[in-house]
Structure 1
Amino acid sequence: MTPRRALHILGAVELTTLACLLLNLVTVHHRTISAILGPVHGLAYTATIIAAVLLADGRKRVWLSALVPGFGGLLAARTVDLAHH
């Protein structure tokens, strides 16, 4: 697995967990779901930023993209892709 692919997967997990948290909030608002998904989302968000910093190779645009909640990991993966072409 390439580092770019790992960043893409982390970004997808971050976005999915955020979407599930928001869906839970506007529908059933079950505390157990929030208690499980909240830390998982936080871990995915943090891991996405760390992976982007490691892949940035001195390019601020890569890791700054990762700071965007929800879509940041996917943006950073795309930015890494664009930088290599």
Structure 2
Amino acid sequence: MTPRRILHVIGTVELATLALMLLNLVTVHAPAVSSTLGPLHGLAYTTTVISAVLLMKGRHRVWLLALVPGCGGLLAARAADPR
């Protein structure tokens, strides 16, 4: 897998967990869902940032974009494009 693809997959997981948490908040607000998705989203966010730092080897723009909560992984994947 290329570094761009890895960031894209992790960024998608991060965004999906955030969307599910917000959907839960707006609709039923089930505590079990919140207590499961909260740590999962935090783990996905942390993984996105650490992966961007390790994979991009000094390309500061990429890992700084990964710090944006929610969509940072997808932004970092786009910035990691080899073009």
TM-score, scaled relative to structure 1: 0.93
For 1:34 and 1:11, locate their aligned partners in 2 and report how far apart those are by CA, in whole Å. Answer: 20
Shift in Å, 1:48: 0.3
Regions of 4+ moved over 6 Å = none
Aligned residues: 83
Whichever structure has more helix as a proportion of its residues is: 1
Are residues 1:45 and 2:45 paired?
yes
Query: 2:3 corresponds to which residue?
Result: 3
Shift in Å, 1:66: 0.4
State the secondary structure of the residue aligned to 1:58: coil
Q: Which runs of 5+ in 2 are unaligned?
A: none
Query: 1:29 corresponds to which residue?
Result: 29
Note the aligned Cα RMSD (angstroms): 0.8
Tell me whether 55-64 or 25-34 shows the greater mean CA deviation: 55-64
Shift in Å, 1:55: 1.9
Code of the aligned partner of 1:39: P
- 1:34-73 → structure 2 map (5 Å cutoff): 34-73=34-73
Indicate conservation of the 8 Å contact 1:55/1:80, yes or no: no
TM-score, scaled relative to structure 2: 0.95
Are residues 1:17 and 2:17 paired?
yes
Percent of paired sites with the same residue: 69
Q: Which runs of 5+ in 1 are unaligned?
A: none
For 2:22 and 2:48, locate their aligned partners in 1 and report how far apart those are by CA, in whole Å. Answer: 19
